[in-house]
A = this chain, B = another copy of it.
Amino acid sequence: MSLETKEERVKLTPTLAEIGEKRVIEAITSVAPSSINGDDAAVLHTPVPNRRTVATTDLLVEGRHFRLDWSTPEEVGHKAIVQNFADIEAMGARPAAALLGLAAPADTPISIVQGIARGIAEASSHYNTELVGGDVTQAGELVVSITAIGALGGDRQALTLDRARPGQQVVAHGKIGWSAAGLALLERFGRALPEEHSELWPLIDAHCAPWITPGRGQVARATGVTAMTDNSDGLIPDLSTIAARSGVSIDLFADAIKPDPLLVQAGALLGRDPLEWVHAGGEDHTLLATTAKPAPSGFRVIGEVVRGESVTVDGRPSPYTKGWASF
């Protein structure tokens, strides 16, 4: 778990200002190559019939969405891809390509930029996609802007937020609360997690490099899911969005979302209620969906859609409803 400090990196590698824009771009495309990158725009061919194009974008700002003393540049690139592709998967679509807008101070070591590009390339490869284009520019702080493009095949509807219906089950794929617990551990210990608590590293990893099995969103669409989102702001906030858009209530089963042993242990260590991480933690990018059919493979049942206009747990309001907000 050894990370170079920013100062060490500065000594080890040239800065963006020293090597210039052309070589900055080469440093990125050498680790994240694509045969369709390098023209005014990237041209994507996808062979699926009745294809629609799906697009989403997310910004990650240093010091706000990531810290380079907590995450490696590779993890930053990985996370940027996973959170954008989670939005594509949450429509039931297939991620097809990513573009990178990178703003960075002139004294940024090129190793950091290349590390981010390497993380982007590695995460993208698990989805059989590439970094197909981008822009680099100088700025006062490091900003990673990813746009994800996806393809939606066939005639079936996209999995929008407004199609939850009473009587459906609520299903989830992925961990819930781990990212927030990992962030809380980093806030307390940085990367110096005490040796006797080393079993908690998976929580930190879930924050720095979240992971959702590629393709689960497409499986969900193929097997009858109607509404879907990913847990980016928090379980209750994100399901509240589905409830409000669909005009329904969602009741979660307390037993199905009770904090797992790692969260309980982290909560005890930090003096925090792990339920808060589960209910309002966010950034797990867990897929959350509703369906009248059996849970798709890889998904588990965590609640049900009922009449009303709220989100409850075993019929009661959660004490933790406030998730991530940018301002």
Binding site for B on A (CB under 8 A): 16-17, 19-22, 24, 38-46, 52-59, 61, 63-65, 86-88, 90-91, 93, 96-97, 99-103, 106, 132-141, 143, 145, 147-150, 152, 158, 160-161, 228-230, 325-327
User: How far is the CB of A123 from the nearest CB of chain B, in Å?
Assistant: 17
Given A44-B55, A59-B103, A136-B326, 15 more A-B residue pairs with CB atoms under 8 Å apart are A24-B326, A40-B228, A41-B54, A42-B54, A42-B55, A42-B56, A55-B132, A57-B99, A59-B102, A59-B135, A59-B137, A59-B143, A59-B145, A136-B327, A147-B147
Contacts of A39 in B (CB 8 A): 91, 158, 160-161
Give the nearest-CB partner of A61 in chain B: B139
- Are A46 and B53 neighbours in the complex by a CB distance under 8 Å? yes
Q: Which residues from chain B contact A148 at a C-beta distance below 8 Å?
A: 41
The answer for the CA separation of A132 and B46 in the assembled complex, in Å, is: 21
B158 touches A43 (CB 8 A): yes
Let me know if B58 and A101 touch, CB within 8 A. yes
Q: List 15 A-B contacts (CB under 8 A).
A: A20-B325, A41-B150, A43-B53, A44-B53, A53-B96, A56-B133, A57-B100, A57-B147, A59-B139, A61-B139, A64-B137, A65-B137, A139-B141, A139-B143, A140-B141
